[in-house]
């Protein structure tokens, strides 16, 4: 399915709008709108258009009766289908006349998804993206839960699994420890305590039976009195209701009569009421507007007639404006520029005279040309002067360098003399290297010493951790102990004796418990009274459990077989039948605890008691024999350990002592001795190395002999470094001396060359002065002289330009004055001066143009008024036509009659509202009984006003019976107290039995809840695992590609890694490092969730028909690069289906335009799109 177009009409608080998506098969459609531009409204309306249904929340006020959602969708065969929805009551329903598709067909096109499921699977916004990332973090990336969430569109599934697990754990501890606080364990413990209390209590049958009958008789009489009192109270309450309500019913009946009188009047909807009155009011306002427009039109025509025109001056508009534009320049030149340039010419002449005097004193300005030097010769003079200056500077630098090199040579000679001759350190260096290659010998020695101390401490700790041996641990190496085979043989016989004694003890306890129960059962048989059998109770509970299994199948498995439900419930609902079965099982259980056993049961119990006594006697004899044999075995065991001087414990404990103490102690002793020997060997090696090193270093030091190897090694290394540094300095000094000699020789040669160059340049300058005698004697000021000479001839050129400009401006002023005089003659105006005439002419032109513009504006306004008058008449005509339609539809001859009709309709609705409110008040005052019953009670009462006396009599009778009831209750309480104080009242047997049954019911209730919760948890976990097995490989493979593109290649893909039996999703970065979800940043987790969602959507599109995907600003936290990558992913997915992306960020459109492939991309700028649609 694809959306071709969609539009919104008559939405409250919004503009009509339509989007055209074109007829392309698929594509990515970006819809941009800033805040308040209607983007969110359009998105919500689009979903409402597709699915319709009840209008929810704040949108109830947005849809009005004229609201319309329309558009065109495309089915799987590319056929266009028009879909139109409109508001009907509080629903958006299909307009069957305008639509080409039914709800059933639309449901098929949407693949059977409702609005909520479609939004989960094919809708996506920023909040769901953030929740998805948080949900991945919460589950730790557990593969099953993560895939299930992203595949179903859900979030925080881990919370549900945890809640079910917590509830299951809170209900039951399967180990049944004695101190458990779980619900099932507590209830079962209470049940067993109550059962024990029943067994330890007893009641005398005769007294109990008599008091029981008296108490039941008293309870029966109390019940009869209560029924009489309740009947009187019900009658009294009925009369009180009638007394309260008869006036309200009169008001209700009056409202009904008034409604009946208006029964023939049409009842209009609220919107139609408002529409009719609004249309009439609009017609009146338009009529008033027409009269006002006619008056404005007449006034405007009179104003046009009064305007004066000046055509002659308008004909001369271009000449006047041209002269006015040039007036400012004319005044500026005449009054400012010409006087200024005269002053500039005089100043420039004075400047030239001064400059010429500095170059050739006494020479006239007219003879200055004699000083001119050709440009090529000037350049030669400047080059010669520059060369001479460079040669002199170079000569000075060579002299300075010569002095520096001589100083460096003297310094190198002094340094060689101070250093002296180097010493040979090769032997010391070899010895240091040899010792260093062995490592840190002293540290190793220290570690060995620490290891010896640690082993000794471990042996001491192991010795003190046991209590069987208190001698020195060195003697343990040869301690005489039994062989392991002997210990195993004794352990086997020892454990056999313990097991046999434990088994005999358990059997004895069992028979004694059986005897106690038999004795208790015999005592309980003393109680008389009928009771059901245990078989009946078992059958009732089995029937109840069968009902519960049917209900669970209805809930978990989608329904039970109808024949099984009928067999259990008959014609009643299954839930009701189950409640009845629970009540029946509880009733039988209660009765079973109150009845006595039969005589045959008593005889059977006596026989069982005798059998128990014989069994107890036999077991006590066997226990004595076995205890004697066990004593002989312990004595033989003591003898086995006598040689070692140890008082042994059991064979198992002594075996552990051998394994965990003696064997480790013997092994530890051997390790300690070996460590001592290695330490002594290493110590000797260190001392020998230190002695050799002292001998090799003696030529270089005069201090005391060292005691430690490590610091002395460092000292020897410093000696070696110092000698190497001395040798390097000597070589450097010799190299400096050789270098200085070579540089001195080269520097002398350069000095000779510089002096020859200076002589050559002096000869060339003398030749140049012969050609131009006015040149200075030395080259030092030659450049300055040439500069002043060039300045002189430059100033002469500027003087010529000033004189030319002055002549041009004087000619311009003369021409301007002639043109102004000619124009004055044409206009017949006096010509005193150009300035005065031109300003007056321009003022006259401005007034003429203003008059012309005002006339044009008035003509435009007149036309606008004529158009507005025509439109108003058309609007009035349309309103009259609409009103005539209402008049014809409802048979009204005039607007006043139509208004009266609306008022009657509103009156009817107001009365109907009052009737409903009155009926509600009556129900509330009438104890919320049905209205028909209350009305019947009032009508059946003959004299409602005179009910006070009868209500008082009923109250008195109720008071008398309540006093009698109180007396009977006090008598009942005395009987109950006497019944409770019978012998054995410490824990009343019947009460305890009832409590036991109640506790058992509680056990049953909690157990069933535990089964439901545990079953739900396991079904959910199984479904999650099944979903993972079906989708893991194809979805992870697709998601890897998406994830790599969304993260710009920072992550190469996704993998599933197992931790034990739990699978987890991991991301692999560019360096091959795998990262769990918790190690990813917030933004990367969001991109991972988006990748998984897109992977499921991609797979769905391959297996099912395409459906539009709708995204709402999911790139809020993406930077530009990741936004572009995500848009490219969506664009590639749009090959398979239509993608619609809503955003209020213009940057998304700009980034989308930068994609390499934009063939299927279309962008909509809502403000611009709306403006174009309006035009």
CA distances from 1071 to 1048, 1050, 1056, 1057 (A): 14, 9, 18, 18
Domain boundary among 831, 859, 875: 831
- Mean pLDDT over 976-1004 rounds to 65
pLDDT digits 0-9 by tens, 481-525: 788 888 888 888 888 888 888 888 888 888 888 888 887 776 666
At which residue do the structure tokens 């330890």 appear? Answer: 200
In a domain? residue 769? no
Q: Residue 598 above 50 pLDDT?
A: no
Q: What confidence tens digit (pLDDT) does each residue in 14-25 have?
A: 777 788 888 777
pLDDT value of position 528: 46
Segment 1072-1096 mean pLDDT: 88
248 and 297 co-located in one domain: no
pLDDT of residue 84: 92
Do 801 and 855 share a domain, yes or no? Answer: no
Task: Give the highest mean pLDDT range of 79-83, 141-145, 651-655.
Answer: 79-83
Phi-psi region of 34 (alpha: psi -120 to 50; beta: other; left: phi over 0): beta
690-700: average pLDDT: 76
Question: For 1052, phi and psi rounded to 5 degrees?
Answer: -85, -25
Is pLDDT of 462 > 80? no
Looking at the structure, tell me whether residues 226 and 282 fall in a common domain. no
Range of the domain at 293: 270-306+835-891
Same domain flag for 907 and 960: yes
Residue ending a domain, among 949, 983, 1017, is 983
Residue 986's pLDDT is 41
339 three-state secondary structure: helix
pLDDT of residue 556: 63
From 983, 1011, 1044, the end of a domain falls on: 983
On whether residue 206 sits in a domain, the answer given is yes
Judged against a pLDDT cut of 70, whether residue 555 lies above it is answered with no
How many CB atoms sit inside 10 A of residue 1163's CB?
17
Q: Are residues 906 and 953 in the same domain?
A: yes
pLDDT of residue 198: 61
Q: Are residues 360 and 302 in the same domain?
A: no
Q: How far apart are CA 774 and CA 770, in angstroms?
A: 9
Highest mean pLDDT among 239-243, 334-338, 787-791, 870-874: 870-874
Q: Using one digit for the tens of pLDDT, what is the confidence trace for 409-451?
A: 888 788 777 777 777 777 777 887 877 777 777 777 788 888 8
pLDDT tens-digit readout, 144-168: 888 888 887 777 777 888 888 888 8
Residue 970 belongs to some domain of the structure: yes
Query: Which residues are within 8 A (CB) of 806 and not within 5 positions of it... i.e. 6 or more apart?
Result: 338, 341, 342, 345
Please state, in angstroms and rounded to a whole number, the distance separating the CA atoms of residues 374 and 771. Answer: 12
Residue 196 has pLDDT above 80, yes or no: no
pLDDT in tens, 713-755: 787 878 788 778 878 888 788 788 888 888 888 888 888 888 8
Q: How confident is the model at residue 535 (pLDDT cuts 50, 70, 90)?
A: low
Do the domain assignments include residue 657?
A: no
Do 278 and 243 lie in one domain? The reply is no
Domain annotation covers residue 211: yes
Token readout for 463 is 């010795």
Instruction: Report the DSSP beta bridge partners of residue 1065.
Output: 1056
Average pLDDT over residues 843-857: 79
Average pLDDT of the chain to the nearest whole number: 80
Who's near 567: CB < 8 A, 6+ residues apart? Answer: none
pLDDT score at 984: 44
- pLDDT score at 594: 53
Instruction: Kindly state whether residues 808 and 844 are assigned to the same domain.
Output: no
Which range (115-124, 553-562, 999-1008, 1054-1063) has the least confidence? 553-562
In angstroms, the CA 545 to CA 551 distance is 10
Find how far residue 615's CA is from the centre of its chain: 73
Say if 1157 falls within a structural domain.
no
Residue 398 has what DSSP assignment? H
Strand, helix or coil for residue 1161: strand
Using one digit for the tens of pLDDT, what is the confidence trace for 281-328? 888 888 888 888 888 888 887 877 777 677 777 777 788 778 878 888
Q: Is 701 left (phi over 0), alpha (psi -120 to 50) or beta?
A: beta
Q: What is the reported pTM?
A: 0.39
H helical segments located in 641-700: 651-657, 663-697
C-alpha–C-alpha distance, residues 697 and 995, integer Å = 101
Q: Which letter, b or e, does each residue of 568-606 get, where b requires 16 or more Cβ atoms within 10 Å of its Cβ?
A: bbeeeebeebbeebbeebbebbeebbeebbeeeeeeebe
Between CA 812 and CA 367 the distance in angstroms is 34
Point out the least confidently predicted range of 106-120, 204-218, 1073-1087.
204-218
Distance CA 1123, CA 1116 (A): 9
**pLDDT at residue 204, as a whole number:** 46
Please check whether residues 918 and 977 belong to one and the same domain. Answer: yes
- pLDDT confidence bin for 924, thresholds 50/70/90: confident
Q: Is the dihedral of CA 814, 820, 824, 829 positive or negative?
A: negative
Regarding whether 886 and 823 lie in a shared domain, the answer is no
* Residue 597 backbone phi and psi in degrees, to 5: -85, 165
Cα distances (Å, whole numbers) of residue 239 to 566, 932, 947: 46, 16, 7
Q: In the chain, what percentage of residues exceed pLDDT 90?
A: 2
CA atoms 593, 598, 603, 604: torsion sign? negative
Residue 1112 inside a domain? The answer is no
In a domain, 641, yes or no: no
Q: What percent of the chain has pLDDT over 70?
A: 91
Mean pLDDT throughout 647-653? Answer: 84
- The pLDDT, as a whole number, for residue 530 is 43
Instruction: Check whether residue 211 and residue 248 sit in a common domain.
Output: yes
Domain count of the chain? 3
836, 958, 1049, 792: which is closest to 234 by C-alpha? 958
| Whether residue 322 sits in one domain with residue 368 | yes
pLDDT over threshold 60, residue 898: yes
């Amino acid at each position: 399915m694809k959306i071709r177009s969609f539009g919104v009409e008559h939405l409250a608080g919004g503009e009509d709008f339509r989007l055209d998506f074109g007829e392309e098969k698929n594509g990515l459609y970006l819809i941009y709108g800033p805040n308040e531009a209607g983007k969110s409204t359009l998105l919500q309306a689009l979903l409402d258009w597709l699915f319709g249904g009840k209008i929810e929340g704040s949108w109830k006020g947005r849809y009005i009766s004229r609201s319309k959602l329309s558009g065109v969708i495309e089915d799987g065969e590319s056929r266009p289908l028009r879909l139109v929805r409109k508001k009907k009551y509080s629903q958006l329903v299909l307009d069957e006349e305008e639509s080409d598709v039914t709800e059933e067909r639309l449901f098929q096109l949407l693949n059977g998804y409702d609005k909520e499921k479609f939004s989960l699977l094919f809708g996506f916004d920023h909040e769901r993206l953030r929740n998805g990332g948080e949900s991945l973090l919460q589950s730790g990336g557990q593969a099953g839960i993560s895939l299930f969430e992203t595949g179903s569109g859900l979030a925080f599934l881990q919370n549900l699994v945890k809640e079910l697990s917590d509830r299951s754990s809170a209900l039951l501890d399967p180990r049944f420890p004695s101190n458990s606080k779980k619900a099932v364990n507590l209830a079962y413990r209470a049940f067993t305590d109550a059962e024990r209390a029943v067994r330890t209590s007893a009641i005398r049958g005769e007294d109990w039976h008599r008091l029981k009958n008296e108490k039941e008789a008293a309870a029966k009489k109390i019940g009869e009195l209560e029924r009489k009192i309740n009947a009187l109270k019900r009658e009294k309450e009925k009369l009180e209701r009638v007394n309260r309500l008869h006036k309200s019913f009169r008001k209700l009946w009056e409202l009904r009569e008034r409604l009946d009188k208006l029964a023939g009047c049409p009842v209009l909807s609220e919107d139609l009421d408002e529409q009719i009155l609004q249309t009439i009011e609009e017609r009146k306002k338009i009529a008033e507007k027409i009269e006002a427009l006619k008056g404005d039109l007449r006034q405007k025509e009179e104003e046009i007639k009064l305007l004066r025109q000046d055509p002659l001056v308008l004909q001369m508009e271009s000449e006047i404006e041209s002269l006015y534009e040039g007036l400012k320049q004319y005044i500026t030149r005449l009054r400012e520029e010409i006087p200024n340039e005269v002053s500039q010419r005089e100043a420039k002449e004075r400047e030239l005279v001064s400059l010429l005097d500095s170059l050739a004193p006494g020479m006239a300005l007219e003879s200055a040309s004699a000083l001119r030097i050709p440009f090529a010769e000037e350049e030669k003079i400047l080059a010669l002067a520059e060369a001479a200056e460079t040669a002199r500077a170079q000569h000075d630098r060579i002299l300075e360098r010569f002095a520096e090199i001589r100083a460096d040579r003297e310094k190198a000679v002094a340094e060689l003399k101070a250093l002296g001759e180097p010493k040979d350190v090769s032997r010391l260096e070899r010895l240091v290297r040899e010792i260093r290659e062995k490592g840190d010998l002293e540290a190793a020695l220290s570690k060995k010493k620490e290891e010896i101390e640690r082993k000794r401490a471990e042996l001491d700790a192991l010795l003190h951790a046991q209590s069987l041996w208190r001698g020195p641990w060195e003697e343990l190496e040869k301690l005489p102990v039994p062989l392991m085979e002997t210990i195993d043989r004794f352990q086997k016989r020892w454990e056999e004796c313990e097991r046999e004694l434990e088994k005999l003890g358990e059997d004895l306890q069992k028979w004694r418990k059986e005897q106690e129960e038999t004795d208790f059962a015999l005592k309980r048989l003393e109680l008389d009274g009928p009771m059901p059998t245990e078989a009946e109770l078992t059958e009732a509970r089995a029937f109840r459990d069968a009902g519960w299994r049917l209900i669970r199948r209805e809930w978990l498995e989608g329904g039970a077989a109808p024949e099984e439900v009928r067999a259990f419930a008959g014609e009643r609902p299954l839930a009701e039948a189950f409640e009845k079965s629970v009540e029946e099982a509880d009733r039988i259980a209660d009765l079973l605890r109150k009845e006595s056993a039969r005589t045959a049961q008593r005889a059977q119990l006596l026989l069982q008691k005798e059998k128990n006594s014989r069994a107890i006697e036999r077991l006590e004899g066997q226990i004595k024999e076995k205890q004697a044999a066990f004593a002989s075995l312990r004595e033989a065991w003591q003898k086995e350990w006598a040689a070692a001087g140890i008082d042994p414990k059991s064979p198992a404990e002594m075996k552990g002592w051998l394994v965990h103490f003696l064997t480790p102690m013997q092994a530890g002793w051997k390790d300690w001795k070996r460590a001592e020997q290695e330490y002594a060997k290493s110590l000797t090696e260190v001392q020998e190395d230190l002695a050799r090193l002292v001998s090799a270093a003696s030529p270089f030091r005069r201090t005391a002999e060292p005691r430690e190897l490590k610091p002395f090694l460092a000292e020897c290394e410093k000696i070696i470094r110092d000698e190497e540094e001395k040798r390097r300095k000597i070589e450097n000094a010799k190299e400096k001396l050789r270098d200085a000699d070579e540089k001195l020789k080269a520097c002398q040669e350069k000095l000779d060359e510089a002096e020859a160059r200076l002589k050559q340049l002096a000869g060339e300058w003398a030749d140049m002065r012969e050609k131009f005698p006015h040149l200075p004697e030395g080259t030092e000021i030659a450049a300055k002289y040439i500069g002043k000479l060039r300045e002189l001839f430059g100033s002469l050129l500027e003087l010529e330009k000033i004189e030319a400009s002055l002549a041009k401006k004087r000619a311009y002023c003369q021409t301007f004055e002639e043109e102004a005089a000619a124009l004055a003659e044409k206009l017949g105006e006096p010509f005193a001066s150009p300035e005065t005439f031109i300003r007056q002419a321009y003022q006259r032109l401005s007034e003429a143009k203003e008059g012309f513009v005002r006339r044009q504006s008035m003509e435009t306004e007149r036309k606008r008024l004529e158009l507005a008058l025509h439109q108003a008449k058309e609007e009035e005509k349309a309103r009259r036509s609409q009103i005539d339609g209402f008049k014809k539809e409802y048979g009204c001859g005039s607007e006043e009659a139509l208004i009266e009709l609306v008022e009657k309709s509103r009156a009817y609705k107001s009365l109907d509202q009052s009737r409903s409110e009155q009926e509600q008040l009556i129900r509330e005052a009438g104890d919320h009984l049905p209205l028909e019953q209350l009305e019947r009670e009032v009508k059946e009462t003959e004299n409602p006003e005179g009910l006070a006396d009868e209500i008082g009599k009923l109250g008195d009778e109720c008071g008398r019976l309540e006093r009698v009831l109180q007396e009977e209750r006090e008598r009942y309480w005395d009987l109950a107290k006497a019944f409770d104080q019978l012998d054995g009242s410490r824990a009343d047997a019947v009460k305890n039995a009832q409590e036991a049954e109640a506790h058992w019911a509680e056990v049953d209730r909690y157990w069933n809840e535990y089964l439901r919760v545990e079953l739900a948890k396991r079904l959910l976990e199984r479904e999650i695992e099944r979903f993972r097995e079906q989708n893991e490989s194809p979805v992870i493979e697709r998601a890897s590609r998406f994830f790599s593109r969304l993260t710009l290649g920072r992550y190469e893909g996704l993998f599933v890694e197992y931790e034990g039996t739990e699978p987890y999703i991991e991301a692999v970065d560019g360096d091959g490092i795998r990262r769990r979800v918790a190690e990813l940043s917030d933004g990367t987790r969001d991109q991972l969730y988006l990748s998984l969602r897109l992977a499921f959507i991609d797979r769905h599109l391959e297996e099912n028909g395409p459906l539009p995907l709708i995204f709402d600003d999911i790139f809020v936290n993406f930077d530009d690069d990741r936004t572009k990558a995500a848009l490219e992913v969506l664009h590639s997915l749009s090959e398979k289906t239509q993608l619609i992306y809503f955003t209020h960020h213009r940057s998304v459109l700009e980034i989308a335009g930068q994609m390499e492939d934009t063939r299927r991309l279309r962008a909509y700028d809502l403000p611009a799109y709306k403006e174009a649609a309006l035009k």
